Amino acid sequence: MITVESLTRRYGAFTAVDDVSFVCQPGRVTGFLGPNGAGKTTTMRVMVGLTQPTSGRVTIGGHRYADIPNPGRHVGVLLDASAQHAGRTGREILTIGAETMGLPKSRVDEMLRMVSLDDREAKRRLKNYSLGMKQRLGIAHALLGDPSVLILDEPANGLDPAGIRWMRGLLKDYADRGGTVLLSSHLLHEVEQIADEMILIGRGRIVASGTKEQLLAGTETKAAHVTALDNDLLAKALQAKGVTVAAAGTGLRAECAPVEVGRVAAEQAIVLTDLRSAGGGLEDLFLSLTEDTQREAPAQTPSAPATAEGTAR
Ligand SMILES: Nc1ncnc2c1ncn2[C@@H]1O[C@H](COP(=O)(O)OP(=O)(O)OP(=O)(O)O)[C@@H](O)[C@H]1O
Ligand SMILES: [Mg+2]
């Protein structure tokens, strides 16, 4: 388990991480989510002793990382997949890791197989690796010592869709076997699909945390997108209940909670083929919570280019 207690890190007058506290539990994947510059990497660097905190502390399994003997056997870390000697081959990097941790050489082949780096690729130097290959090697390195805790900064960076799916499965399995996983991302969809718990950070401060369900609980939207086999019939039924309805795409937009639409459809025995909340759910929540920390404030978005007639549509 990872415990972050009142962690603050300042650089001069600038506060990169501001009184951050959270816990990552064994058997759970915890997603650490926030816009660029929010303080994710800084927090993770403090976790593994690469950056000193200004105040507060982080413990892993009750110990400071620096106090853990042979830490690679307990904590797998991937912060920057390029932060390896560029002239070494993938196999050499893993072999050095295995020797440092006192692991048998066979572990290197096992890990290369697990991350699908073939023999030829393993013999290539890191400087000639593609971004995704570096990332795979980094994941292999993190898992080398069969640790019980994983700390991964943007692990999906550079992976292709199949690679992202593979990593998702890998981390879920790892947590199912009792491992603790903390992974960061600035991409909500990436985290949403894999994390059991989410911690949202903006400008160095935690702005929300909890399970996906808990985070969404307070954001019940009051509009639904719905498609029925007979949209006209559904529109009439909804209007009869006083709900405002408008055509939208292949279906309707109803100004009420999705559950109300479902209820009306059930009462009238209308077959629905699609029903969902019209709000962006987590994405809206994420954007609103980190609004003042986003670089792209809505007002600053460049407007659409004017048309030939000089009028914006
Ligand atoms: N050594 C340093 N000196 C000065 N400022 C720093 C230093 N390290 C980080 N910062 C600042 O701290 C803030 C947080 O940076 P951090 O790398 O933790 O963000 P992040 O959440 O990982 O962002 P990203 O999604 O872009 O990776 C940034 O404004 C960054 O410029
Ligand atoms: Mg970062």
2-217 fold: Rossmann fold (3.40.50)
Per-residue pLDDT of the chain (313 residues; tens, 9 = 90+): 999 999 999 999 999 999 999 999 999 999 999 988 999 999 999 999 999 999 999 999 999 999 999 999 999 999 998 888 999 999 999 999 999 999 999 999 999 999 999 999 999 999 999 999 999 999 999 999 999 999 999 999 888 888 899 999 999 999 999 999 999 998 888 888 899 999 999 999 998 899 887 887 766 668 889 999 999 999 999 999 999 999 988 999 999 988 999 999 999 999 999 998 876 667 777 777 777 656 665 544 444 454 444 444 3
For ligand 2, a single-atom ion, which residues have Cβ within 5 Å? Answer: 40-41
Torsion angle in degrees (nearest 10) through CA of 127, 133, 135, 140:
-110
Please give all residues whose beta carbon lies within 6 A of any atom in ligand 1, as ranges: 11, 16, 34, 36-42, 186
Are 174 and 255 within 8 A, CB to CB? no
Ligand 2 centre to CA of 205 (Å) is 15
Are 43 and 69 within 8 A, CB to CB? no
Q: 131-143 and 161-176 are packed helices; what angle lies between their axes, rounded to 10 degrees?
A: 10
Question: Which helix (DSSP H) or strand (DSSP E) does residue 10 occupy?
Answer: strand 2-11
CA–CA gap between residue 32 and residue 153 (Å, rounded): 9
For 273, the token pair is 């083929």
Are 259 and 220 within 8 A, CB to CB? no
> Which numbered atom of ligand 1 lies nearest the CA of 11?
4
For residue 306, the Cα-to-chain-centroid distance in whole angstroms is 37
Grouping H, G, I as helix, E, B as strand and the rest as coil, residue 6 is: strand
- pTM, two decimals, is 0.81
Domain ranges for the chain: 2-217, 224-277
